[in-house]
Chains A and B, each alone.
Chain A
Amino acid sequence: MPAALTHLGRLEAEAIHIFREVAATFSKPVMLYSVGKDSSVLMHLAMKAFYPAKPPFPFLHVDTTWKFREMIAFRDRMAKEKGFDLLVHINEEGVRDGINPFDHGSNTHTHVMKTVALRQALDKYGFDAAFGGARRDEEKSRAKERIFSFRSAGHAWDPKNQRPEMWKIYNTRVAPGESIRVFPLSNWTEQDIWQYILQENIPIVPLYFAAKRLVVDRDGMTIMVDDDRMRLLPGEKVEERMVRFRTLGCYPLTGAIPSNATTLEEIVGEMLTARTSERQGRLIDRDEAGSMEKKKREGYF
């Protein structure tokens, strides 16, 4: 009798199954690639799911133009190394209107440059299924979401009226214009992600490792000064500190944590003693109660 699957083995098999279901039943899938650690894991799993073939769908990065520079460099390097078809979409109207997190606040910036931009890209290419790296342990409204999560023709999520999702039998049928968001990492926790990265040696953006970086303190968060667009407020001073990031997004909205973890083992070790959740480092989730659910209903991932 062969040995039972390990914990990560079970999660990996489930994700691979989900990838294949989508490839077999949708006419135009896409993978949302956000360049973060979850996206790295997702990409790794997509490669496994279709080996020896390449994933039969393109990867889409919605670029808010405020991502860390290291993220963009990493993205381009991965596309080249792995040979996947990378699409980059920027909301040009938002760029023209000069939308940015400083003048317009995190809410408006995220809505225009991320949510609206994503809707634009999905409509432009006519994708009927989009993979995302969201996990149920991240946030309360995500904990409620199906693995195959239906979106109306306007990309809206109706949390009060989700399709039942029985066993591993997924209802993949949509009418023209409608789509499904698919979350292969639904049942993974942050700890699983890091242990899997460790086990599989998956490349991640260097920002996850502690290094000396230029930062300022703002709104109780440690913000990295990634380029000269960062506006300093009176009294703020730029310091060099040993920090790393638990999640990555737009640099003016993402908080760093003090850390000396420079290896994957050290990051996993740090994880095990963590006393705060990873989303605490995200300014956009704290704007208002239920803000993630609201964003999701509007079409955010």
Chain B
Amino acid sequence: MLTGNKVPVGEEDAAPVDIRDYVAGQENKGLLRFLTCGSVDDGKSTLIGRLLFDTKLIFEDQLAALENDSRKHGTAGDEIDFALLVDGLEAEREQGITIDVAYRFFSTPRRKFIVADTPGHEQYTRNMATGASTADLAIVLVDARQGILPQTRRHSIIASLLGIRHIVVAVNKIDLVGFDETVFERISAEYRAFAEELGFNSIQPIPMSARYGDNVTRSSEQTPWYSGPTLLEHLETVDIEVEAEGRPFRFPVQYVSRPNLDFRGFAGTVASGHIGVGDPVTVAKSGKQTRIRRIVTQDGDLDVASEGQAVTLVLEDEVELSRGNMLVTPEARPHVADQFAATLVWFDESPLLPGRSYILRTETDEVSATVSHLKHRRNINNFAEEAATCLNLNEVGLCNFSTQAPIAFDAFRDNRVTGAFILIDRLTNATVGAGMIEWPLRRAANIHWQALDVTRQSRAALKHQKPAVLWFTGLSGSGKSTIASLLEKKLHASGRHTYVLDGDNIRHGLNRDLGFTDADRVENIRRVAETAKLMADAGLIVLVSFISPFRAERRMARELMNDGEFVEVFVDTPFEECARRDPKGLYAKALKGEIKNFTGVDSPYEAPEKADIHVETTARAPEELVDEIEAWLRERGYC
């Protein structure tokens, strides 16, 4: 081993140090992850640029490039525009705004830091949330001239919801109000009053000028009335150790490692607590108990694995365990439920619709989930609870969730790792929301699935048929009901047991409480799909004749049924032809504006991309089309 290479470290510390000692010192430094947030133009990027510059973390070539850029895009006159150090995208530099979160790294003799510089514009709130989700502390910037703005509140609320417990209120541009103490005191008091309900453990207001460096890394002579720490001092010393000690052991299984017949290990990262060889553990979802036999790493087996470590656990017994499940301490088990309440932040342009099926993903588990009830929306200005039927972009609400299979979780306030999830749109795969679980719903725990002795197979066998759900979708007046009704007659004549669920008829009974908004349309389809499923279970051939305009709900219906039981029939009639036929006089009214939310007029119809059967009604008679559908069904053994 080579040791003893003496080199100077930095300019101020001219004494030579041993490299290995130096590295060891670096190793034991704590880490603070923080973000800068607040409204547009409050100086977030400038502050980070200033921090990097003052902690001497800008290389000469970067500084040269910065001076060059400042002349080209800068907003600071002839001076260096520090914001350009972090606004790294072309569009950002051209528009002088921050679009997405940038991560920067710096360290001082006391701590290492990862900074997320997040955008202030409301439309980029999801990028702010991205930066906040991994942070321990938020610097909320406030322009001393503007005071607290709606975005200051929105960002503070999101920071609070995402579990951040420490806030610095950076009253920035204090130079532009003449270093006025009363302005600082007023803003500090206003912020504290507003944040009272947000559950922060510490709030530190600091008057500063990011542009000139006042109270950033050095105390300002211009603010003799301020006796608190500079920003950097505070960041170096703030105590962020959450009650990490004594938290129950949680190990979400990521990956099952089975390189050969003799080894079966469960790879993952310890989410909380610690575990030792020989300790008892419980499989969260099944309740099966076993013990830890080995804690495997490439650097040798460990005696103990603790929070944050990525290891592979080998168990004493063969228990059923795979990705999405959790190993936990038997003394404090997590909740296992398929219904729970969670706070949701919505990220997508198309709103959250209760009843629509989304993919819910926790750190390692993935299930289908719907919002069964939107309890309220949170007003971001006054924190009030408001009634709502959907959540729009950047809105926050409390929802009841229902998942297709139970998941294992803790409340988010107890565990940021096992209490969080994201929602993914089934069609676009976009990440559309982020959820923080509040509590499980009791009803999930008390209603157990009743196993029945007469099975769906035996019911169908008695009828000598294969159950199916024929799902007719198309515009109003496209001919769905005509075709479904003719087809039912034929099937009935050949001795099949059938039933037609018709959109208009169901809306007179089961669904008469529903209107035609997007949210109600989603619920309309959910109820019909569940009804069709029960009928298919009973052995029937079900013909569903519903406009069902959204792909997401048709897909939900397909996934609800057993494989091969769902047949999508696209009754394809152009809008003009439907409007011409207008059998119920609805198009005439809708086009005059007398009916709102009419599919094809002011409410969208998403045509199937790959229907099982596609019939075009303009060229051929309904009887011909019915023959064609019947032939298709016969070929596949449905009739």
Spell out A's residues near B (CB within 8 Å). Answer: 1-2, 4-10, 12-14, 16-17, 20-21, 23-24, 47-54, 136-137, 139-144, 146, 159-160, 162-169, 171, 173-175, 186-187, 189, 195, 198-199, 263-266, 268-270, 272-277, 280, 289-290, 293-294
Contacts and interface: CB of A to CB of B under 8 A. Distances in A.
21 contacts: A2-B304, A6-B27, A13-B310, A24-B255, A52-B265, A136-B104, A136-B105, A160-B91, A162-B127, A164-B129, A164-B422, A165-B130, A166-B129, A166-B420, A167-B416, A169-B422, A171-B361, A171-B431, A264-B2, A289-B72, A293-B89
B112 interface: yes
B245 interface: yes
Nearest to B11: A273
Contacts of A4: 308
A263 to B, nearest CB: 5
A269 B5 contact: yes
Interface string B23-42: 10011110100000000000
B259 A20 contact: no
Contacts of A16: 269, 310
Given A20-B254, A269-B19, A263 B274 contact: no
B231 to A, nearest CB: 21
Nearest to A48: B298
A277 to B, nearest CB: 4
B363 A168 contact: yes
Given A49-B310, A160-B91, 15 more contacts: A7-B26, A20-B310, A24-B364, A50-B267, A141-B89, A144-B89, A162-B127, A166-B434, A167-B420, A169-B421, A171-B361, A195-B23, A265-B20, A266-B5, A276-B61
B424 A173 contact: yes
B245 A1 contact: yes
Most chain A CB inside 10 Å of its own CB: which residue of B100, B417, B420: B100
B306 interface: yes
A263 B2 CA distance: 8
Interface in B74-122: 85-91, 93, 99-105, 112, 114
A136 B102 CA distance: 8
Given A137-B105, A268-B23, A173 B254 contact: no
Given A48-B298, A52-B263, A166 B422 contact: yes
Nearest to A262: B2
A254 B91 CA distance: 29
A280 B65 CA distance: 11
B445 interface: no
Contact of A160 (B8, B89, B105, B257): B89
A270 B69 CA distance: 28
Interface of B: 2-3, 5, 7-10, 19-20, 22-23, 26-29, 31, 59-62, 69, 72, 85-91, 93, 99-105, 112, 114, 126-127, 129-130, 133-134, 245, 254-255, 257-259, 263, 265, 267-269, 274, 296-299, 304, 306, 308-310, 312, 323, 347, 359, 361-364, 416-417, 420-422, 424, 429-431, 434
A198 B114 CA distance: 23
A167 B363 contact: yes
Contact of A168 (B114, B296, B417): B417
B360 to A, nearest CB: 10
Given A159-B89, A166-B130, A175-B429, A274 B59 contact: yes
Contacts of A143: 86, 88, 102-104
B312 A199 contact: no
Nearest to A194: B23
B268 A163 contact: no
Nearest to B361: A169
A198 B18 CA distance: 14
A58 B444 CA distance: 44
Identify the 5 closest CB pairs spanning chains A and B, nearest first.
A140-B88, A269-B7, A53-B259, A51-B298, A16-B310
A164 B431 contact: yes
Contact of B255 (A23, A168, A265, A270): A23
Contacts of A276: 59-61
A51 B297 contact: yes
Contact of A5 (B3, B127, B308): B308
Given A143-B103, A199-B23, A280 B269 contact: no
B88 A263 contact: no
A225 B434 CA distance: 54
A144 B88 contact: yes
Contacts of B2: 263-265
Contacts of A169: 361-363, 420-422
Contacts of B134: 167-168
Most chain B CB inside 10 Å of its own CB: which residue of A54, A165, A270: A165
A5 B362 CA distance: 24
Nearest to B18: A265
Contacts of A199: 23
Nearest to B298: A51
Contact of B298 (A7, A47, A165): A47
A144 B102 contact: yes
Contacts of A14: 310
Contacts of B269: 13, 16-17, 168
Nearest to B125: A164
B117 to A, nearest CB: 9
Given A7-B112, A199-B23, A265-B5, A17 B434 contact: no
A164 B434 contact: yes
A20 B420 contact: no
A270 B7 CA distance: 8
Contacts of B254: 17, 20-21, 24
Given A164-B347, A275-B60, A276-B60, A8 B27 contact: yes
A8 B101 CA distance: 24
A52 B259 contact: yes
Contacts of B26: 7, 195
Given A7-B29, A10-B31, A136-B105, A290 B90 contact: yes
A141 B10 contact: no
A241 B46 CA distance: 42
Given A49-B310, A167-B133, A169-B363, A275 B59 contact: yes
A42 to B, nearest CB: 15
A150 B150 CA distance: 32
Contacts of A1: 245, 274, 306
A54 B258 CA distance: 11
A167 B347 contact: no
Most chain A CB inside 10 Å of its own CB: which residue of B86, B93, B309, B416: B309
Contacts of B99: 159-160
B89 A272 contact: no
B596 to A, nearest CB: 32
Contact of A54 (B130, B259, B361): B259
Given A2-B306, A7-B112, A273-B7, A293 B88 contact: yes
A173 B114 contact: no
Nearest to A159: B89
B8 A273 contact: yes
B304 A164 contact: no
B44 to A, nearest CB: 14
Contacts of A272: 7, 9-10, 22
Nearest to B304: A2
A87 B129 CA distance: 39
Contacts of B308: 4-5, 9-10, 13
A171 B133 contact: no
Nearest to B421: A169
Nearest to B87: A140
Contacts of B22: 272
A167 B417 contact: yes
A7 B27 contact: yes
Nearest to B127: A164
Contacts of A289: 69, 72
Given A21-B254, A159-B89, A136 B103 contact: yes
B121 to A, nearest CB: 12
Contacts of A51: 296-298, 312
B297 A48 contact: yes
